[in-house]
Amino acid sequence: MKLRRVIQSLGTSIALGLVYFLVSLFQVWNTGRSDDRQPVDAIVVLGAAQYDGRPSPQLQARLDHALKLWNLNLASYIVVTGGKQVGDRFTEAAAARKFFESKGVASELILEENTGTTTYASLLAVSQVVSDQKITSVVIVSDPFHQLR
């Protein structure tokens, strides 16, 4: 009798965990499908890992998407974000800046926040950067798993 109750409880816990996982997966998938393409003052690209100045695949995907938005003339500025980890020679923002400059984006149109080591810290610093430039509207480029955080 007691073993039966334990097995039922375990089964219920597993079922609830699976439902939670599937709902979370759906939310990530659904969020990742949204793309609010509308004119804004700036495109903010959230940082991700870089390797000695080369964007990681995750950062590269963000940069590629931001470049598509830029090429649609949806913004006047690109704001790149991200500091560096101990031992890094480059910041995430510097790697992103280098990418955009290599694609022909004028240096003066790329604003840089290079101190944040967390999303929260980067966004706080970005608020000051955009305020200084009188930027009032932005679109944030990230990836689906990051957007829901």
- pLDDT for 77-117, tens place per residue? 999 999 988 888 999 999 999 999 999 999 999 999 999 88
**Bridge pairing between strands 77-81 and 110-113:** parallel
- Are 56 and 109 contained in the same domain? yes
- Are 127 and 90 contained in the same domain? yes
pLDDT at 30: 60
User: pLDDT digit string (tens) for 44-76?
Assistant: 999 999 999 999 999 999 999 999 999 999 999
pLDDT at 61: 94
Is residue 136 predicted with pLDDT exceeding 60?
A: yes
Is residue 148 predicted with pLDDT exceeding 60?
A: no
- Are 55 and 27 contained in the same domain? no
Q: Which of 140, 132, 69 is nearest to 105 (CA)?
A: 69
Number of separate domains in the chain: 2
- Are 81 and 56 contained in the same domain? yes
- Are 52 and 23 contained in the same domain? no
**Number of Cβ atoms within 10 Å of the Cβ of 63:** 22
